[in-house]
Chain A
């Protein structure tokens, strides 16, 4: 199998930084690493399975109701993920709140179904979905690591910045409150794109 299917979505065709898909919902969950990881995992699973199911069904779907069928399948997968999170990871599901539901409208999922799954065999579709989900999750986790480290001094809940550095304990350090605010996620993505495009000149826009 062409290894481009699973390498490209991570870097050169990253859904977030290159194809501009699916930034919608999930950046609001990048304040902390834990919800971001769960979100990344949920999106990866939903994208993978949505691609798989749609690829299996691709020759049977009546064209007129194609979009509705896609939405129903995606919504079903998302509801399953939401129910499972509520049952086994209640704390995180509370933090994610409405953003689990918003996976339905994450453009990556519909985008990959339309662009790949409807024209390819089930197995490559599954891989394509998983890889795109992972490419998306990667950005999410990178952003959340930066935001949590500089915004709260922790990573995945573990204290990274030594407590004795903090001003309230007699040190010099303050958490950067700006990192916790939502706009910072966008600015970080902007900077991330800058870095990526400095290395890969083909991606630059005129």
Chain B
């Protein structure tokens, strides 16, 4: 239990997808102009992460990992399909985002129209694929750990994008040097927020 809490807190604050790894920056920069859309996208990312990561975890553990197919037949114990993991992960992510898009379109048309083209972008959102790849890289031991990691990193991503959107809303009223306006100041701001998040580094759980 303790390790789950530790994974959860770490994935939100210390190893924040945005501030520590720059994952999901594209939709992050494109959407985070108003808090409302940012919140919508944030929730969508949390949802997609929590759904895709366990699926990919199970696929990796029972199909892709070296020797993972041994449960089918002992003679498969030497089989190593891990070279297929990228393609399988992205296929799972793409099909699940498609599903989410259809659900959102059907039940909350308001949200769908405000998120516009950004929902399909989730399929190629690095934060989603990144979550699966980090899961593989770090070798989480149980499904619970992988799911906790998904939830934590999703919340961390949403937190980052919502707070950035809030700052950008305020920024409209500031007198920023002309060449720095828009993109430039946003980058610097994300950097400064990343520095602030680094203060969580020494956290011990």
Contact = CB atoms under 8 A, between A and B. Distances in A.
Assess A/B contact in the complex (Cβ within 8 A): yes
Interface of A: 17, 20-28, 67-68, 71-72, 75-76, 78-79, 82-83, 97-98, 101-102, 104-107, 110, 181-187, 189-191, 193-198, 204-206
B107 interface: no
A75 B26 contact: no
Given A104-B124, A184-B191, 7 more contacts: A25-B23, A98-B137, A104-B86, A182-B21, A182-B194, A185-B22, A198-B179
Interface in B78-93: 83-87, 89-91
A85 to B, nearest CB: 12
Interface size, B (range): 35 or more
* 3 A-B pairs with the lowest CB-CB distances in the bound complex, closest first: A183-B194, A205-B182, A190-B187
A186 B194 contact: yes
Q: Which of B129, B179, B188 has the most CB of A within 10 A?
A: B179
Contact of B90 (A71, A184, A189): A71
Contacts of A24: 22-26, 126
Contact of B181 (A79, A196, A205): A205
B198 interface: yes
B130 interface: yes
Contacts of A110: 124
Given A182-B194, A204-B178, A28 B22 contact: yes
A83 B81 CA distance: 12
B90 A75 contact: yes
B5 interface: no
B111 interface: no
A106 B26 CA distance: 9
Nearest to B186: A190
A190 B145 CA distance: 36
A197 B179 contact: yes
